[in-house]
């Protein structure tokens, strides 16, 4: 209290005015909202504004010539290189071929990882034998960056598609398998006991109770997994690739075509984002009950 | 139908050097067709262990559990269980939840749905057949759970504190509903509860258990549910002098157990 200019003359609430005071104390909410929910409120407008400001600053910096185009090309240059590659292709291949090849690599590896990883993860969740066998190898390789074992992949499987798809597969496999494994625990013991008390066999409990209950976590794991897949794509296309969006970015960087590099990054981001939207839609359709029971 | 529990004991192994605990100590209990047996007791008296024993989730350390003379080997559709909560399958509609047991038995869809239709009506769930279960209130969810257990046509219906999570008013309505369903179906019921009033109102026989070790200490024959089914209102039954006197007597037994524990 002592030392404060108006100490003793006003209550603390009156003393603290202005923006800081308003941020420090929550106000009563309008009816229909819940008081004190962390992070409540719509963010869309603010997000759009942020994007606009970032693009504007980017444009300003390049238009004023504060940074050389070699380092940061202008937004127009990115659009230009997109249109030009769309029309003329890159290194003799049209843009859609690059996009198509990369998408096929990522999704091929992703599907493969789901086909192997989900059953294996479920097996690890329900069987101590499967868990005992597969836990050490998965936990061993999971934290290793794919770039570290890329050379091994090439030594073992050559420079063809196998090593590329396998590298992406490995990066997707671990999160998907571990997600399915922990999803097994989502079924409440009451749900399992009820099924048994209606005469279910162990297989029926697995298929009719444990698997559906694990679906939310499996779908989340798939979303995380495909993210890892896109992350690993560029690494996979670093060696001996002649097409693909990752190859395009890397080869453009060697020729200092920065606008192509940025354009490629944006294309990857756009595809990954669209797939994430698709997965969220799928989640709403398949598990509308998520978190509600 | 006849359930016989003969001299059954359940001993849980002691963890980390602790001595083993005797959850049930030589329990003897017989349930005949059409009986409504209620098990009541202070927490830790082994009433859930008793239900798990009958359901077949655990086997007795000694003694035996016989259903129609055959030893109980594991869970089965002749003893379907209704749980307090979390037991419905949220990815299925009300109809498919109710028909779940039948679908496990591989019955064709039309038969499944015609049987479940009967129990959906009996439990007052008509009009909600296609609703996802997570959109229902707690009371309605419990009714789905009961309908689902009944469609399996069990010899013995096991109710594990089925109304424990409901609010007081919904709970009283549900008690009346269960009594009417029991009366019409003629099933044998084993109900676990920690509400003395519920136990007295619903059972034809009351088993009071005491903890350390879990055992049956008192047995009362009850007629209050018959009074209700004969036309008296539930509140009138629960406010009658006999009911209140017995309620206080049973409460004293249970409070004495709780004080021993403290």
pLDDT tens digits along A61-109? 999 989 888 889 999 999 999 999 988 888 888 999 999 999 999 999 9
pLDDT digits (tens, 9 = 90+) for B79-99: 999 998 888 999 999 999 999
Contact A197 B75 (CB under 8 A): yes
Please compute the mean of the pLDDT values over residues B48-54 and round it to a whole number: 92
Is residue A131's pLDDT more than 80? Answer: yes
Q: Is residue B262 very low, low, confident or very high in pLDDT (cuts 50, 70, 90)?
A: low
Residue of A nearest to B58 (CA): A193
The answer, yes or no, to whether the previous bond of A263 is cis (omega within 30 of 0) is: no
Is residue A223's pLDDT more than 60? Answer: yes
Residue of A nearest to B106 (CA): A200
Interface of A with B in 154-193 (CB under 8 A): 188, 190-191, 193
By Cβ distance, the residue of A194, A213, A288 closest to B83 is A194
Lowest mean pLDDT among A9-18, A249-258, B170-179: A9-18
Q: Which residues of B touch A195 (CB under 8 A)?
A: 100, 104
Is residue A36's pLDDT more than 80? Answer: no
Q: Which residues of B touch A216 (CB under 8 A)?
A: none
Q: Is residue B250 very low, low, confident or very high in pLDDT (cuts 50, 70, 90)?
A: very high
Break chain A down into helix, strand, coil percent, rounded to 5.
Answer: 70, 0, 25
Please compute the mean of the pLDDT values over residues B97-102 and round it to a whole number: 94
Q: Give pLDDT, residue A7.
A: 46
Contact B101 A199 (CB under 8 A): yes
Is residue A17's pLDDT more than 70? Answer: no
Q: Give pLDDT, residue A8.
A: 46
Q: Give pLDDT, residue A225.
A: 93
Residue of B nearest to A216 (CA): B91
Tell me the average pLDDT of chain A. 88
Q: For residue A181, count other CB atoms closer than 10 A to its CB.
A: 27
Is residue A12's pLDDT more than 60? Answer: no
Q: Is residue B185 very low, low, confident or very high in pLDDT (cuts 50, 70, 90)?
A: confident
Contact B104 A199 (CB under 8 A): yes
Q: Give pLDDT, residue A180.
A: 95
User: The pTM is what?
Assistant: 0.83
Distance (Å) from the alpha carbon of B149 to chain A's nearest alpha carbon: 7
Residue of A nearest to B145 (CA): A194
ipTM for this prediction = 0.90
Tell me the average pLDDT of chain B. 90
Contact B100 A197 (CB under 8 A): no
Domain B2-80+156-261, CATH homologous superfamily name and number: P-loop containing nucleotide triphosphate hydrolases (3.40.50.300)
- Say what percent of chain B tops pLDDT 90: 59
Q: Give pLDDT, residue B166.
A: 83
Is residue B43's pLDDT more than 90? Answer: no
Please compute the mean of the pLDDT values over residues A101-127 and round it to a whole number: 95
Is residue A219's pLDDT more than 90? Answer: yes
Is residue B119's pLDDT more than 60? Answer: yes
Q: Is residue A11 very low, low, confident or very high in pLDDT (cuts 50, 70, 90)?
A: low
Q: Which residues of B touch A208 (CB under 8 A)?
A: 89, 100, 104
Q: Give pLDDT, residue A1.
A: 43
Q: Give pLDDT, residue B258.
A: 78
Q: Is A230 helix (H, G, I), strand (E, B) or coil?
A: helix
Q: Is A33 helix (H, G, I), strand (E, B) or coil?
A: coil
Contact between A138 and A200 (Cβ < 8 Å)? no
Q: Which residues of A touch B48 (CB under 8 A)?
A: none
In this complex, is the C-beta atom of A291 within 8 Å of any C-beta atom belonging to chain B? no
Extents of the domains making up chain B: 2-80+156-261, 87-153
What tokens appear for A74 in the block?
Answer: 């202008």
Contact A293 B101 (CB under 8 A): no
Is residue A10's pLDDT more than 70? Answer: no
Lowest mean pLDDT among A109-113, A205-209, B47-51: B47-51
Please compute the mean of the pLDDT values over residues A39-48 and round it to a whole number: 86
Residue of B nearest to A205 (CA): B104
Is residue A3's pLDDT more than 70? Answer: no
Higher pLDDT, A242 or A26: A242
Q: Which residues of A touch B56 (CB under 8 A)?
A: 197
Q: Is residue A159 very low, low, confident or very high in pLDDT (cuts 50, 70, 90)?
A: confident
């Amino acid at each position: 209290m002592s030392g404060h200019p108006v100490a003793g003359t006003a209550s603390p609430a009156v003393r603290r005015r202005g923006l800081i005071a308003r941020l420090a104390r929550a106000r009563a909410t309008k009816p229909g909202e819940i008081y004190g929910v962390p992070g409540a409120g719509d963010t869309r407008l603010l997000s759009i504004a942020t994007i606009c400001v970032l693009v504007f600053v980017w444009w300003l910096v390049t238009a004023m010539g504060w940074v050389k185009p070699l380092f940061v090309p202008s937004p127009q240059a990115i659009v230009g290189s997109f249109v030009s590659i769309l029309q003329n292709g890159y290194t003799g291949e049209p843009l859609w071929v690059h996009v198509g090849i990369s998408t096929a690599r990522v999704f091929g590896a992703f599907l493969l990882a789901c086909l192997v990883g989900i059953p294996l993860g479920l097996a690890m969740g329900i069987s101590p034998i499967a868990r005992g066998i597969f836990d050490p190898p998965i936990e061993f390789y999971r934290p290793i960056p794919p770039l570290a074992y890329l050379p091994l992949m090439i030594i073992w499987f050559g420079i063809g598609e196998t090593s590329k798809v396998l590298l992406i597969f490995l990066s997707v496999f671990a999160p998907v398998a571990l997600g399915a494994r922990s999803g097994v625990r989502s079924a409440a013991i009451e749900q399992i006991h009820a099924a048994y008390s209606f005469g279910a066999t162990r297989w029926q409990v697995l298929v009719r109770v444990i698997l559906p209950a694990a679906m939310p976590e499996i779908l989340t794991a798939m979303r995380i997994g495909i993210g890892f897949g896109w992350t690993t794509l560029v690494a996979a296309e670093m060696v001996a690739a002649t097409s693909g969006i990752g190859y395009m970015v890397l080869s453009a960087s060697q020729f200092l075509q920065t606008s192509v590099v940025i354009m490629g990054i944006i294309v990857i981001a756009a595809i990954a984002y669209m797939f994430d939207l698709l997965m969220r839609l799928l989640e709403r359709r398949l598990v509308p009950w998520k978190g509600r029971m | 139908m006849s359930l016989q529990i003969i001299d059954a004991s359940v001993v849980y192994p002691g963890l980390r050097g602790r001595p083993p605990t005797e959850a049930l100590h030589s329990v003897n209990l017989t349930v005949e067709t059409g009986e409504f047996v209620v098990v009541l007791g202070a927490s830790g008296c082994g009433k859930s262990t008793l239900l798990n024993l009958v359901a077949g989730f655990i086997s007795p350390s000694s003694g035996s559990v016989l259903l129609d003379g055959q030893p109980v080997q594991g869970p089965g559709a002749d003893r379907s269980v209704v749980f307090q909560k979390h037991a419905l399958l949220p990815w299925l509609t009300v109809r498919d939840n109710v028909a779940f047991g039948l679908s496990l038995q591989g019955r064709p869809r039309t038969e499944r749905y015609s049987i479940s239709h009967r129990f959906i009506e009996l439990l007052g769930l008509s009009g909600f057949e296609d609703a996802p279960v997570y959109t229902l209130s707690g009371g309605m969810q419990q009714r789905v759970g009961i309908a689902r257990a009944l469609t399996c046509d069990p010899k013995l219906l096991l109710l594990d504190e089925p109304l424990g999570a409901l609010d007081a008013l919904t709970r009283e309505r549900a008690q009346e509903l269960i009594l009417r369903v029991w009366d019409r179906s003629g099933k044998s019921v084993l109900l676990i509860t920690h509400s003395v009033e519920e136990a007295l109102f619903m059972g034809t026989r009351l088993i009071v258990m005491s903890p350390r070790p879990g055992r049956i200490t008192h047995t009362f024959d009850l007629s209050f549910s018959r009074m209700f089914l004969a036309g008296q209102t539930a509140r009138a039954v629960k406010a009658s002098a006999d009911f209140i006197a017995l309620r206080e007597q049973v409460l004293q037994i249970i409070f004495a157990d709780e004080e021993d524990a403290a």
